[in-house]
């Protein structure tokens, strides 16, 4: 490993395609992004793992969809881990980084009673959602699938099969670096792009858990063979290869898929980024009346707000808030 390799590949997403099949993919490595996300909060270890997995998924999916504004992933459940939410902001211009932020909401008392539970099991029953906001004057998109499969990456695979009818597979690893104490994550995402979806005109559902769609429900026989072969190759990936930094993503692709003729494209840098500001908070409070604002006012005569993503703290004169504001915002 060299410092140069670490500098080049940390916090990047590398797009690729396999020329011997109609399969595209991404390799992601997150380092400083995860440290920046998790350092904002005091999460239990299990919640940290859920946030790390969700942030990695968000970087992989956001770059795939080519978001012009914002992609959001949300997991809501009835367990101690109530909410995991992430945002990916597309690059503002060519060469600019994508930006990722994330946070979690959890019940600390209920978490204390489940210290041995697997992180995913702490979510309970609920849903996995992808929301795409392409900016002003564009209709937002939302897709929802049930919590299933035993991991957040499995939920994402189910979403793409069910909502987009695109077979998708993730191989991911994440955790704290024993030497530095910092977080690292890495993963590979592959997708088979069907020429046309032959899915079930009979409306009877798919062959997966709870009638959800699988690749076999979406692809024809020849495509299923390609998809199965690539999945078997992906299964040989190891945690150290995925997380790095000793093995470059390009070397990983050659090791896994050399017979599939992988072709890589320009890598996309990723950074931690939050869009909160005093103006945005003030705008969010503009729907409230003066009476409502009064209920939010502290004994010190101010209204406070904290950003759940980055921890920024804001204080306002209540007279400048709400649709009945009596003073100009200063």
H-state helical runs in 193-326: 215-218, 221-234, 239-243, 249-257, 278-284, 290-296
| Cβ pair 60, 73 in contact under 8 A | no
Q: Which of 57-66, 150-159, 171-180 has the highest mean pLDDT?
A: 150-159
What is residue 235's predicted lDDT score, i.e. its pLDDT? 96
CA dist., res. 298 & res. 234, Å (int): 55
pLDDT in tens, 8-57: 788 999 999 999 888 999 999 999 999 999 988 889 999 999 999 999 99
What is residue 283's predicted lDDT score, i.e. its pLDDT? 83
What is the rounded average pLDDT of the residues 127-137? 86
Enclosing H/E stretch for 15: strand 12-18
In sequence order, which residues have a C-beta less than 8 Å from that of residue 17 and are 6 or more positions away?
23, 24, 25, 262, 263, 265
Instruction: Among 167-171, 196-200, 232-236, 284-288, name the one with the lowest average pLDDT.
Output: 196-200
pLDDT in tens, 179-220: 788 899 999 999 998 664 444 444 556 656 666 666 667 777
| Cβ pair 318, 288 in contact under 8 A | no
What is residue 2's predicted lDDT score, i.e. its pLDDT? 41
Q: Could you tell me the domains of the chain? A: 3-272 (3.55.30.10), 278-320 (no CATH)
Enclosing H/E stretch for 315: strand 313-316
What is the rounded average pLDDT of the residues 148-172? 92
What is residue 147's predicted lDDT score, i.e. its pLDDT? 94
pLDDT in tens, 65-83: 777 789 999 999 999 999 9
| Cβ pair 177, 50 in contact under 8 A | no
């Amino acid at each position: 490993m060299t410092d140069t390799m670490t500098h080049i590949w940390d916090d990047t997403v590398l797009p690729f395609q396999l020329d011997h099949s109609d399969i595209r993919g991404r390799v992601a490595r997150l380092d400083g992004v995860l440290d920046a996300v998790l350092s904002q909060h005091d999460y239990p270890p299990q919640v940290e793992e859920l946030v790390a997995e969700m942030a990695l998924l968000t970087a992989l999916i956001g770059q795939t969809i080519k978001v012009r504004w914002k992609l959001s992933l949300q997991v809501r459940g009835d367990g101690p881990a109530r909410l995991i939410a992430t945002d990916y902001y597309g690059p503002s211009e060519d060469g600019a980084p994508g930006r990722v932020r994330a946070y979690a909401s959890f019940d600390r008392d209920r978490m204390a009673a489940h210290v041995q539970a697997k992180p995913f099991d702490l979510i309970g029953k609920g849903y996995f959602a992808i929301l795409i906001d392409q900016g002003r004057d564009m209709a937002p998109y939302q897709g929802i699938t049930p919590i299933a499969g035993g991991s957040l990456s499995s939920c994402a695979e189910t979403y793409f099969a069910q909502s987009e009818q695109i077979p998708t597979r993730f191989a991911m690893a994440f955790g704290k670096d024993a030497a530095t104490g910092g977080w690292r994550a890495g993963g590979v995402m592959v997708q088979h792009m069907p020429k046309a979806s032959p899915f079930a005109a009979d409306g009877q559902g798919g062959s997966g858990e709870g009638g959800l769609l699988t690749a076999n429900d979406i692809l024809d026989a020849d495509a299923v063979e390609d998809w199965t072969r690539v999945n078997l190759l992906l299964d040989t990936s190891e945690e150290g290869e995925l997380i790095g930094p000793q093995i470059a993503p390009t070397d990983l692709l050659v090791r896994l898929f050399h017979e599939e003729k992988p072709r890589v494209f320009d890598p996309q840098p990723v950074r931690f980024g939050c869009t909160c500001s005093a103006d945005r908070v003030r705008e969010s409070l503009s729907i409230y009346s003066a009476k409502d604002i009064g209920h939010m006012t502290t004994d010190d005569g101010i209204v406070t707000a904290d950003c759940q993503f980055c921890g920024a703290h804001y204080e306002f004169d209540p007279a400048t808030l709400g649709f009945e504001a009596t003073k100009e915002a200063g």
